[in-house]
Structure formats: C-alpha cells, structure tokens
Amino acid sequence: MGLRFLVDSMHGYVAKWLRIMGYDTLYLNSVNDEDIVQLALGDRVLVTSDEELAKIAEKRGVEVFLTKGLTEEEVLRLLVERFKLFFQEDSLRCTVCNGELEPLPPEEAEKNPEAPKNVDLLWRCKSCGKLYWRGSHWRNISRQILKLTGSEPSHA
C-alpha cells in the first residue's frame, strides 16, 4: 500500500494538494485527539500544527510531521522532500472527498450535461461524482507540481 496521510483541519490546502498528487489523504473535521491517534496508528502520516497532539501521537507510535510555524507552501514542499512524493498519474483523487478518480468514457461524457465540450480527458470521482478535466486551472496544477517535485506531469 502506498503512503497515506491524515491532515488536521488547519491544513486544507495541504490536504488538497496531497490528493491532487494521488495520495490517500484523510482530512480531519472536529475529531478529538484520541480518535486522531487511532485513525493514524499503523499506516498514516499525521500532518499537524498541534504540538501537544504531535507529542501524544509520537509516543503511541504514529509518524508525525509537525508543521508549527510553517506556511502551507512550505509544509507541502517539505512533505514532498521528506517522503519523496511524486505525481501519481494513474491514481488521482478527488480534492473534495478523497475518492478515487476514474476516466470517463467519451460516450458518457457526451451524455453528461455538466461535462465541458472539447476536452480530451475527463475524470469522475467514484465516490461523489464530481467531474475533473484539464481546464484552465490545469496550467496552475502543472506548474505547482513542477515546482514541488521538479518534474512536470506528462498528461493525466
């Protein structure tokens, strides 16, 4: 199984980008410390700015990335560095719900009123149905990925 993350509610931006890069990322919303530790135990890296929580979690054997004093951009860059993250073109995830994206066949795209015309590749979240495509924002994503990982995504 690949690297998985658990990101506290202060880091929505980080969670979003980890998902864009294809990493299974749970985003915490009003969850108590004990539950956070339990959720992370074993197979998730906890990303948090809460020193107290970090201490408790580490003592229990959770791998923690403490973000105190860092900007969201810095957190993301350091995560990429430390865990050698890369853009996983074949396992994209929904930024809203962490669901897996699946390519949408052209014939279905045609039937879907929400799908934009004239885009070559469309994805759909298996969990919430949200559509993704390479629109104008793709250039920003592409640039950000290049900045973070040093290599540009080829197509996906």
The three-class DSSP label of residue 125 is: strand
Site for other proteins contains 2 (CB under 8 A): no
| Residue 29 near other proteins by CB under 8 A | yes
In three-state secondary structure terms, 154 is: coil
110 interacts with other proteins by CB under 8 A: no
Stretch that binds other proteins, among 54-62, 79-87, 121-129, 145-153 (CB under 8 A): 121-129
Cα 38 from chain centroid (whole Å): 20
Determine contact, residues 99/93, Cβ cutoff 8 Å: yes
Query: Sheet holding 64-66: strands in order across?
Result: 24-27, 4-7, 45-48, 64-66
Binding at 29: pick from other proteins, Zn ion, none (beta carbon under 5-8 Å per type): other proteins
What character string, x for contact with Zn ion (CB under 5 A) and - otherwise, covers 109-128?
Answer: ----------------x-xx
In whole angstroms, the minimum distance from the beta carbon of 97 to other proteins comes to 5
In the set 2, 30, 52, 90, which binds other proteins (CB under 8 A)?
30
Contact of 10 with 49, CB cutoff 8 Å: yes
Within 41-100, the residues that bind Zn ion by CB under 5 A are 94, 96-97, 99
- Phi then psi for 37, rounded to 5 degrees? -60, -45
Question: Which residues contribute to the site for Zn ion (CB under 5 A)?
Answer: 94, 96-97, 99, 125, 127-128, 130
